[in-house]
């Protein structure tokens, strides 16, 4: 492994790599700082740019957007009490109170340091363990992969917002959309409705850009009469963060890092839950919990550290098993596949140096986040109030250009608009599109793994599994139990998060 | 108690007034499952059999059948539980002006997709950006110039020169 890391470092230490990560961070922070625009949307729009760069430039660029976006969301959360992204909702519990106390600069700086430190530590931990997990993953075959994929899909459904049944409906829609085109085993044409271009299937890019970027534009349009943030004064003011204050927060940051790191490895749970859990843990561990909700610095450090600590470990299921845990890693998977890299244990054997260089780029991104964030946060603070009349057309221009360039097929644009309308309807009806995207991405490998298992079984699948595949049987038996356990944990965590939010919002 | 709940759910099924958004989505889900099931024999090609045997272990119809059955089963359960769900319909909060805004932007987007090839990226993007910025209420000439002229040109050159991929050029340039 040490050899791989050394070679990966040599591959990574290039000026253009550093510049692309920096560009990604700036872009991510910019979008994260704009209330209502999400990191997922930013990544969806810039995804096609990464397709046309070499992997060592394109994927670190997306990593930069990801990390910058998660931190950027804290800027409006602290300054104007509107979370820039979902991940920074918990930051609104103490961030705006610090701003009201004239400590907005301090709040932004502790958010930045907590984000960068937690992200660095969790990414470092990821690099240490991911090789071992990939080695274990190499021992498994098609039946085990099929069982793990089914388990992952169900975990994603049960972790999605809304009810299990709604999640299942969305998952099935995603799976059905993936069936359009050709089956992954014999390339038999399915559901082309006599329309030849459909035989190539629906591409991931119009689906992702349509579902994540277009609804943002439509939602912004419906609210165009109530765009209250324009002309709002949003500046970082007050004293800077002192070293003794940072030392006081370090225990909280480390605790949140551990929590966020563990949550990141579980597909589907994500930054929002991590941030609230980090906040609750900090409050419970505090000698003076009454200060929380009234402008306590640890109340900003805890959720910011926890939500950024999720970033690195989400790469574990993605790179070792090819299973994206959330929308952002689903987009990353799209970037890997477009570069001709199929995430999974084989990738570590075939492209070990490249994989480790991409993992190491996460550490560089964390250091650059600290540097760029330190100098540019005051600028991003002003961007919070930028006029959307200019941002919305820019988003659409990038969305259209990005969707078109991949195949130069105008049909993709119609798909993008169609998925955009569908995504908007889903948002209005509180239907989470995450299971749809996951179903779309994971159906082909699932179908392929089941097909291979059927061939291996030679007609007696159940006998083959029981006789020769004990791990598959164990995973299949454990799946309903695990789903039930996660659902229970999820409902109790949601209850705790709601009561936490209500409790802390009440005195203000 | 459970029996009484089931009777209440079944009664709600026939009472159209008791239907909410979730009930409609559930009914649509069942319908989708039935339609997919009926389409499978016509829309899924079957592999050729050699000497009476299919050379791939699994039929290409298997997963579509699973999906269709899944739609019907999950839709049925969803339908039963939908009457007790805290149904959410975000469209109820919208007024006519909101709908007009959304419809207008959708028209802009569709026109953009249609005009991209005949007019080229820069001109179609400029027109779309201009229309959206004006519709959103901007009257700032500098801002409009940036999004309707400078941005399309920059994006065009970024993709075609820096990333070396093709976007439809200007209408007077043959591709």
How confident is the model over A149-171, as pLDDT tens digits? 898 888 888 877 678 899 999 99
- List, in sequence order, every residue forming a beta bridge with B53; answer none if it has no partner: B50
Please answer yes or no on whether B60 and A188 come within 8 Å at the CB atom.
yes
Specify the higher pLDDT residue, A461 or B66: B66
- Tokens coding A34: 């704009």
Nearest-CB residue to B147 (from A166, A186, A394) = A394
A390: contact with B, CB 8 A cutoff: yes
* Each residue's pLDDT tens digit, A186-215: 889 999 998 988 998 998 889 988 998 899
* Residue A503, both tokens: 């409790």
- Output the average pLDDT for chain A: 86
Model confidence over A395-450: pLDDT tens digits?
Answer: 899 889 988 988 888 899 999 999 999 999 999 998 989 899 889 988 998 999 99
| pLDDT score for B41 | 94
Residue pair A178/A485 in contact (Cβ under 8 Å)? The answer is no
- More confident: A508 or B21: B21
Among B29, B136, B152, beta carbon nearest to A169: B29
Q: Chain A, 438-477: which have a CB under 8 Å from a chain B CB?
A: 443, 447, 450-452, 454-455, 457
- Say if A191 is an interface residue toward chain B (CB within 8 Å): yes
Nearest to B109 among A175, A417, A428 (CB): A417
Who wins on pLDDT, A216 or A368?
A368
Measured between beta carbons, the chain A residues lying within 8 angstroms of B24 are none
Give CA separation, A234 vs A75, A299, B65, in Å.
10, 21, 55
Measure in Å the smallest separation between the Cα of B136 and chain A Cα atoms: 5
CB nearest to A405's CB, from B47, B140, B167: B167
Between chains, do B64 and A176 touch, taking CB under 8 Å as contact?
A: yes
CB contact under 8 A, A169 and B90: no
| Cβ-proximal residues to B112 (8 Å cutoff; 6+ apart), any chain | A396, A400, A413, B124, B125, B127, B128
Confidence of residue A119 (pLDDT cuts 50, 70, 90): very high
Residue reference for tokens 């950027």: A72
High-pLDDT (> 90) share of chain B, % = 55
A16, two tokens: 């253009």
Q: Region A223-242: what's the mean pLDDT?
A: 64
pLDDT at residue A508 greater than cutoff 50: no
Q: How far is A428 from chain B (nearest CA, A)?
A: 4
- Cα A188 to chain centroid distance, Å, stands at 34
Residue range A322-343, pLDDT digits in tens: 888 778 888 898 888 888 888 8
Shortest CA gap A52–chain B (Å): 6
Assigned token pair, A142: 């098609």
**pLDDT reading at A451 higher than 60:** yes
Distance CA A26, CA A33 (A): 10
Confidence band, pLDDT 50/70/90 cuts, at residue A216: confident
Residues of A within 8 A of B29 (CB-CB) are: 169, 172
Give pLDDT, residue B54.
62
Could you give the residue ranges of the DSSP H alpha helices within chain B? 2-14, 21-43, 62-82, 96-119, 121-136, 141-145, 151-157
Q: Which of A165, A410, A452 sits opposite B116 (nearest CB)?
A: A410
Least Cα separation, residue A420 to chain B (angstroms): 10
Tokens 């991510």 sit on residue: A28
Within 8 A by CB and 6+ apart from A170, the residues are: A157, A160, A426, A431, A432, A433, A434, A435, A436, A439
Residues of B in contact with A185 (CB under 8 A): 56-58, 60
Secondary structure of residue A93 in the 3-state scheme: helix
Chain B CB within 8 Å of residue A483 CB: no
User: Range with the lowest mean pLDDT among A19-23, A229-233, A472-476, B73-77?
Assistant: A229-233
User: Which helix H or strand E contains A189, and what residues bound it?
Assistant: strand A189-190
pLDDT at A230: 46
The residue of chain B with its CA nearest to that of A391 is B147
Q: A408 with B67: CB under 8 angstroms? A: no
Out of A106-110, A232-236, A280-284, B91-95, least confident range? A232-236
Please give the pLDDT value at position A428.
92
Give me the phi and psi of B44, to 5 degrees please.
-120, 115
Whether A408 sits inside 8 A of B77 (CB atoms) is no
Which tokens sit at A9?
């470092």
Query: Comparing B129 with A498, which gets the higher pLDDT?
Result: B129
A181 beta partners: A190
Average pLDDT over residues A275-290: 88
Residue A96 tokens read as: 């705006």
Beta strand B53-54 with A189-190: parallel, antiparallel or unpaired?
unpaired
For tokens 């519709």, name the residue. B135
Q: Structure tokens of A43?
A: 């990544």
Average pLDDT over residues A79-90: 78
pLDDT for the residue A231: 45
Radius of gyration of chain A (CA): 22
Give A268's contacts (C-beta < 8 A, 6+ positions apart).
A155, A156, A158, A159, A160, A325, A326, A434
pLDDT of residue A506: 45
pLDDT: which is higher, A416 or A484: A416
CB–CB contact A185 B56 (8 Å): yes
Q: Rounded to a whole number, what is the distance in Å from the CA of B174 to chain A's nearest CA? A: 16
CA distances from A173 to A159, A187, A443, B28 (A): 17, 21, 11, 12
Rounded to a whole number of angstroms, the distance from the CA of B72 to the nearest CA of chain A is 10
Strands A189-190 and A181-182: antiparallel
Residue B9 has pLDDT above 70, yes or no: no
Residues B52-69, mean pLDDT to the nearest whole number: 84
**DSSP at B44:** B
Is A225 touching B (CB cutoff 8 A)? yes
Distances (CA, A) of A188 to A181, A182, A411, A440, B61: 8, 5, 22, 18, 10
Task: Give A 17-56 residues with CB within 8 A of chain B.
Answer: 49, 52-53
Partner-chain contact B43 A217, CB within 8 Å:
no
**Is there a contact between A88 and A74 (Cβ–Cβ < 8 Å)?**
yes
Query: What gap in Å lies between CA A13 and CA A364, rounded to an integer?
Result: 10
- Percentage, residues of chain A above pLDDT 70: 92
pLDDT at residue A324, as a whole number: 82
Place of tokens 């993953």: A137
Q: Report the residue of chain A nearest B112, measured CA to CA.
A: A400
Judge whether A417 is closer than 8 Å to chain B, CB to CB.
Answer: yes
Q: Chain A partners of B147 at a C-beta cutoff of 8 Å?
A: 390, 393-394
Answer yes or no: are the C-beta atoms of A50 and A59 closer than 8 Å.
Answer: yes
Q: CA–CA separation, A265 vs A325, rounded Å?
A: 8
**Which of the two residues, B158 and A233, has the higher pLDDT score?**
B158
Nearest CA in chain B to A189: B45
d(CA B134, CA B111): 16
Q: What is d(CA A152, CA A156) in angstroms, rounded to the nearest whole number?
A: 6
Residue to mutate among A184, A389, A407, with most B CBs inside 10 A, is A389
Please report, in angstroms and rounded to a whole number, the separation of the first and last CA atoms in chain B. Answer: 72
Instruction: Give the pLDDT mean for A344-353.
Output: 85
Query: Which segment, A342-346, A348-352, A367-371, A472-476, is predicted with the most confidence on average?
Result: A367-371
Residues of chain B found within 8 Å of residue A339, distances taken between Cβ atoms: none
């Amino acid at each position: 492994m040490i050899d791989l890391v050394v070679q990966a470092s040599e591959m990574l230490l290039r000026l253009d790599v550093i510049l692309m990560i920096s560009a990604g961070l700036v872009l991510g922070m910019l979008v994260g700082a704009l209330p209502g625009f999400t990191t997922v949307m930013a990544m969806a729009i810039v995804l096609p740019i990464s397709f046309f760069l070499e992997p060592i430039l394109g994927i670190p660029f997306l990593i930069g957007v990801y990390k910058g976006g998660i931190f950027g969301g804290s800027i409006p959360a602290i300054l104007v009490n509107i979370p820039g992204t979902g991940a920074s909702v918990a930051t609104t519990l103490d961030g705006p109170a610090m701003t009201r106390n004239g400590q907005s600069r301090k709040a932004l700086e502790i958010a930045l340091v907590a984000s960068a430190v937690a992200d660095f530590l969790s990414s470092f931990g990821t690099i240490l363990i991911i090789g071992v997990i990939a080695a274990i993953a190499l021992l498994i075959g098609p039946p085990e992969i099929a069982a793990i994929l089914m388990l992952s899909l169900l975990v994603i459904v049960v972790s999605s917002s809304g009810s299990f049944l709604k999640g299942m409906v969305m998952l099935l829609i995603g799976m059905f959309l993936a069936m359009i085109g050709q089956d992954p085993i014999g390339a038999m044409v399915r559901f082309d409705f006599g329309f030849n271009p459909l035989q190539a299937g629906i591409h991931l890019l119009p689906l992702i850009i349509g579902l994540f970027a277009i609804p943002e534009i439509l939602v912004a349009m419906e609210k165009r009469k109530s765009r209250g943030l324009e002309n709002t004064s949003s500046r970082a003011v007050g004293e800077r963060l002192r070293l003794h204050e940072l030392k006081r927060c370090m225990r909280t940051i480390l605790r949140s890092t551990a929590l966020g790191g563990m949550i990141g490895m579980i597909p589907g749970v994500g930054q929002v839950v991590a941030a609230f859990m980090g906040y609750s843990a900090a409050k419970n561990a505090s000698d003076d919990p009454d200060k929380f909700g009234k402008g306590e610095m640890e109340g900003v450090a805890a959720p910011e550290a926890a939500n950024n600590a999720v970033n690195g470990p989400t790469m574990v299921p993605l790179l070792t098993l090819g299973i994206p845990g959330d929308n952002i890693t689903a987009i990353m998977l799209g970037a890997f596949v477009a570069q001709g890299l199929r995430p999974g244990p084989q990738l570590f054997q075939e492209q070990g140096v490249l994989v480790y260089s991409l993992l190491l780029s996460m550490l560089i991104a964390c250091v650059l986040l600290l540097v760029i964030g330190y100098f540019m946060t005051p600028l991003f603070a002003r961007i919070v109030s930028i006029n959307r009349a200019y941002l919305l057309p820019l988003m659409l221009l990038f969305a259209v250009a990005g969707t078109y360039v991949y195949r130069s097929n105008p049909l993709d644009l119609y798909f993008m608009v169609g998925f955009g309308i569908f995504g908007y309807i889903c948002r209005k009806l509180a239907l989470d599109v995450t299971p749809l995207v996951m179903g779309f991405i994971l159906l082909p490998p699932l179908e392929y793994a089941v097909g291979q298992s059927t061939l291996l079984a030679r007609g007696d699948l159940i006998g083959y599994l029981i006789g020769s595949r004990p791990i598959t049987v164990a995973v299949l038996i454990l799946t309903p139990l695990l789903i039930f356990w996660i659902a229970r944990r999820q409902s109790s965590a949601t209850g705790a998060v709601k009561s936490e939010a209500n409790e802390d919002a009440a005195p203000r | 108690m459970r029996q009484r709940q089931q009777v209440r759910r079944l009664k709600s099924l026939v009472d159209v007034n008791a239907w909410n958004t979730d009930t409609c989505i559930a009914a649509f889900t069942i319908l989708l499952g039935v339609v997919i099931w009926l389409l499978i024999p016509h829309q899924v090609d079957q592999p050729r059999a050699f000497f009476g045997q299919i050379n791939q272990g699994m039929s290409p119809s298997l997963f579509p059948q699973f999906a269709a059955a899944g739609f019907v089963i999950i839709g049925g359960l969803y339908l039963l539980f939908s009457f007790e769900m805290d149904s959410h319909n975000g469209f109820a909060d919208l007024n006519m002006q909101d709908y007009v805004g959304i419809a207008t932007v959708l028209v802009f987007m569709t026109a953009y997709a249609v005009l991209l090839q005949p007019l080229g990226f820069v001109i179609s993007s400029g027109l779309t950006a201009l229309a959206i910025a004006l519709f959103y209420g901007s009257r700032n000439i500098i801002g409009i110039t940036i999004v309707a002229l400078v941005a399309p040109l920059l994006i065009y050159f970024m993709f075609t020169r820096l990333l070396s991929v093709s976007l439809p050029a200007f209408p007077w340039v043959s591709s």
